[in-house]
């Protein structure tokens, strides 16, 4: 273990509020000490993991979705200095088509909305997650559901500055390198009252909040409490995700 002093290092331990955690992140190996100020991207890696490992990470550490979708494309283990610290799971979204809106510079735009007209329970976070709601929409298109891939679960089991952003970027890059489908957009949903590090990581890595989903259970699926919550929809053009990866490599 490193001998860096507490003021110059980050000590990774199981979350204090869960006691002895038995998930794949915390069950094996000793806590590690990481010096602050290092380039996190240089120490973050992504490797495939099996369904059981991913499910155990989400059950222990996902803020509000502790289970896995039944059908998935890939499970990624997120590693820092060879220690598992989180997971991301990709799947096809359960939608047949989606309208995409663009601004004058070709950037993604949210659905036309007035924050004042939004339901009271999502107004506060709307001001944080939505880009300018008065951006002019100059073009739109309807894309098929199979041109989108959903990051159905994104979860970090370790609190560490900048880790979520670096891990998300690595996972996007790994997934797109292996993807031989005509994927145009990455998609994910975030519970409307969630304000964790992953929201900041999404925005930092080129994702745009384009709207929200109203509460409602699916008639052909098991009822879940999360479906009674509003959720923000985030999209990222594949070209933007690849550009982020290129910029990261050039900056090293």
CATH number at residue 104: 3.40.630.30
Is 74 domain-assigned?
yes
CB 33, CB 80: distance < 8 Å: no
Q: Residue 29 above 70 pLDDT?
A: no
Strands (E), 43-94: 44-48, 74-80, 83-91
The dihedrals phi and psi of 7, each to the nearest 5 degrees, come to -75, -15
Determine if the pTM surpasses 0.85: no
Contact between 84 and 210 (Cβ < 8 Å): no
Q: What is the mean pLDDT of the chain?
A: 79
Residue 59 domain-assigned (yes or no)? yes
Domain assignment present for residue 165? The answer is yes
Residue of higher predicted confidence among 31 and 148: 148
Q: Is 154 helix (H, G, I), strand (E, B) or coil?
A: strand
Cβ–Cβ contacts within 10 Å for residue 108, how many? 21
Give domain status of residue 46, yes or no. Answer: yes
Residue 63 has pLDDT above 90, yes or no: no
- Whether 61 is in a domain gets the answer yes
Instruction: Give domain status of residue 1, yes or no.
Output: no
Asked, for residue 95, whether it belongs to a domain, the answer is yes
* The total number of structural domains that make up the chain: 1
Q: What is the pLDDT of residues 233-247, one digit of tens each?
A: 999 999 877 776 555
Averaged pLDDT for residues 15-26:
68
Q: Which domain holds residue 217?
A: 6-251
- Asked whether residue 196 is assigned to any structural domain, the reply reads yes
Model pLDDT for residues 154-212, shown as the tens digit of each residue = 888 887 777 888 888 889 989 999 998 889 999 998 888 766 677 788 888 889 999 98
């Amino acid at each position: 273990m490193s001998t860096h002093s507490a003021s110059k290092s980050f000590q990774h331990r199981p979350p204090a509020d869960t006691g002895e955690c038995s998930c794949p992140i915390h069950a094996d190996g000793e806590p590690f000490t990481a010096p602050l100020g290092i380039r996190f991207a240089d120490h973050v890696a992504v490797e495939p993991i099996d369904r059981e490992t991913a499910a155990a990470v989400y059950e222990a550490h996902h803020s509000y979705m502790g289970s896995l979708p039944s059908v998935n494309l890939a499970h990624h283990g997120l590693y820092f200095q060879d220690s598992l610290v989180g997971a991301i799971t990709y799947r096809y979204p359960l939608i047949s088509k989606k309208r995409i809106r663009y601004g004058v510079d070709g950037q993604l735009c949210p659905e036309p909305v007035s924050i004042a007209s939004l339901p009271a329970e999502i107004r506060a976070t709307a001001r944080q997650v939505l880009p300018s709601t008065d951006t002019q929409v100059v073009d739109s298109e309807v894309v098929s559901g199979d041109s989108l891939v959903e990051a159905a679960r994104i979860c970090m089991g370790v609190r560490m500055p900048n880790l979520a952003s670096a891990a998300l970027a690595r996972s996007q890059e790994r997934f797109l390198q292996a993807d031989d489908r005509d994927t145009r957009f990455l998609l994910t949903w975030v519970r409307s009252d969630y304000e964790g590090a992953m929201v900041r990581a999404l925005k930092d890595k080129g994702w745009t909040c384009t709207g929200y989903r109203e509460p409602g259970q699916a008639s052909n699926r098991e009822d879940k409490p999360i479906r009674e919550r509003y959720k923000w929809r985030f999209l990222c053009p594949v070209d933007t995700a690849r550009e982020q990866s290129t910029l990261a490599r050039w900056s090293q």
